Amino acid sequence: MSFNIAFLEIMISIWYLKDVVLNQENSLFVMIFILLVYLCLKVLYYIFKEKKFSIIILMSSLILILSFGISIYTPILYFLGFTAFQFVNRYKKGLAPYTLSCLVLGVMVAPEYLESYILISLFSIVLTLISENSNDNILILKQKLEDKHDVIENLKLASLNKTQYDLNLLHTSRLEERNDIAQKLHDELGHTLSGSAMQLEAALMVLDKDAYKSKNMIETVISNLREGTEAIRKILKRIKPETASMTIQTLKVLINDTEMKSGIKINLIYDSEIAELTYKTWQVITENIREALTNMMKYADATKCQVKFERLNKYYKITVKDNGNGALIIKQNMGLLGMKERLSELRGQLIVDGSDGFSVIMLIPVERKQDGN
């Protein structure tokens, strides 16, 4: 509204100067002096509008207008309705006080200037009405933007909490796994190891007296330790988490983090076949997916993305496809070259396609995972 107010002041000043030029009765110096004093007061008012003493400046402006308008030069009353409105508007908002001020104060204007006063008042009322409507629209738009910002912040917070929850869950699972291993080793091997230590001590004591008996005792200990070693292998194999389970959890955390940062909906599709992927293969896949998602956030302008694992005859096919801009000409940047280099270590291939969105396809030869990988 500040621009409209300044524009209105300028237009009324121009009208005032027009009447000054046409007026032959009053001193030109006095008429210009009155206008300059008034404008100086109003400039001070706009500068200190938020201060408490600005109301004193407005009152001084009204006294100036009334004093000089009634006794010296009537056209200064052109500013009366507008200035009175500013005064009243500090206590009661709305267009009604302005219109009422213009009508009531119009009785103080000399007949020869009444027509100009009415035109200026009507113009001022219309401009003020437009200004108030604009202000209302701006306030509504500002409120909507603030609401939208709050929604976005809440979504970000929710995504952040979800990511943190996943990380905490992963950490808790690892702690539980370690506790489980410790408990099973204690239950299964504690007695065996303790008994073997006692038998070795006994064998050492009878070694000089009865070598045959000592030998039998040592052979028994060796047999027990072999059984214990086999028990350890079975325990670890039974409770060791599958590589696929750990890496899928890592991949889900990566996808959740990407969704939180970009707002892009990412769908992850996989089946039990991925359990055969080795840990080294998973490292390459995870790094390449991370690179593909980073490029998508930077360049694709996408809203959806799909990360899909498929088992073909002799290959695993991993696809990262978005619905973004795509690219007719694909530049081999550092990201794509790095993905190709990582895949080459697995004798894999990288295929990129920008004709329908953007697709990054990894083809990795099938290689059965051996025990201990």
347-364 burial string, b = 16+ CB within 10 Å, else e?
ebebebeeeebbbbbbbb
Residue type at 50?
E
85 and 109 in a single domain? The answer is yes
C-alpha–C-alpha distance, residues 269 and 27, integer Å = 89
305 and 348 in a single domain? The answer is yes
- Structural domain includes residue 373: no
Q: Are 191 and 228 in contact (CB under 8 A)?
A: no
pLDDT given at position 139:
64
Q: Which of 239, 265, 280 is the last residue of a domain?
A: 239
Residues whose CB falls within 8 Å of the CB of residue 316, separated by 6 or more in sequence, listed in order? 273, 274, 277, 281, 309, 310, 362, 363, 364, 365, 366
262 and 310 in a single domain? The answer is yes
Residues whose CB falls within 8 Å of the CB of residue 284, separated by 6 or more in sequence, listed in order? 342, 343, 345, 346, 348, 364
218 and 255 in a single domain? The answer is no
Q: Which of 196, 218, 239 is the last residue of a domain?
A: 239
Interhelix angle 28-47/2-22, rounded to 10 degrees, is 170
Q: Are 125 and 168 in contact (CB under 8 A)?
A: no
C-alpha–C-alpha distance, residues 73 and 198, integer Å = 123
- Structural domain includes residue 161: no
42 and 135 in a single domain? The answer is yes
Instruction: Indicate the Cα dihedral angle 90, 95, 101, 103, nearest 10°.
Output: 180
φ, ψ dihedrals at 79, nearest 5°? -85, -5
361 and 331 in a single domain? The answer is yes
Look at residue 202 and give its three-state secondary structure. Answer: helix
254 and 230 in a single domain? The answer is no
267 and 343 in a single domain? The answer is yes
For the whole model, what pTM was predicted? 0.41
234 and 248 in a single domain? The answer is no
277 and 183 in a single domain? The answer is no
16 and 36 in a single domain? The answer is yes
Q: Are 67 and 55 in contact (CB under 8 A)?
A: no
- Structural domain includes residue 147: no
> Between the CA of residue 204 and those of 213, 215, 216, 222, what are the distances in Å?
10, 10, 12, 14
> Between the CA of residue 52 and those of 28, 98, 117, 138, what are the distances in Å?
35, 22, 31, 26
Closest CA to 78 of 116, 22, 44: 116
90 and 205 in a single domain? The answer is no
Q: Which of 209, 239, 269 is the last residue of a domain?
A: 239
Closest CA to 196 of 169, 223, 174, 173: 223
Question: Domain containing 217: what range?
Answer: 167-239
pLDDT given at position 372:
42
Sheet of 358-365: strand order equals: 265-269, 304-311, 315-322, 358-365, 349-353
Rounded to 5°, the CA angle 279-282-284 comes to 115
Domain of residue 207, CATH code: 1.20.5
Q: Are 82 and 124 in contact (CB under 8 A)?
A: yes
Residue ranges in 206-313 assigned as alpha helix (H):
211-239, 243-262, 279-295
Q: Are 71 and 110 in contact (CB under 8 A)?
A: no
- Structural domain includes residue 151: no
C-alpha–C-alpha distance, residues 280 and 364, integer Å = 12
Tokens 């939208």 sit at which residue?
A: 148
What's the number of domains the chain is made of? Answer: 3
Domain of residue 360, CATH code: 3.30.565.10
φ, ψ dihedrals at 370, nearest 5°? -90, 155
Mind listing the pLDDT tens digit of every residue in the chain (373 residues)?
Answer: 445 566 667 777 777 777 777 765 666 777 788 788 888 887 887 788 777 777 888 788 878 877 776 667 667 776 776 677 677 666 665 556 556 656 655 566 666 666 666 666 666 666 665 655 555 556 677 777 777 777 676 666 655 565 565 556 555 656 666 666 666 666 666 667 777 778 777 877 877 788 888 788 888 878 877 777 777 777 666 555 555 566 788 888 899 889 988 889 999 999 877 777 888 898 899 999 999 999 999 888 999 999 999 998 889 999 999 999 988 888 888 889 999 999 999 999 999 999 999 999 999 998 754 444 4
pLDDT given at position 253:
87
- Structural domain includes residue 127: yes
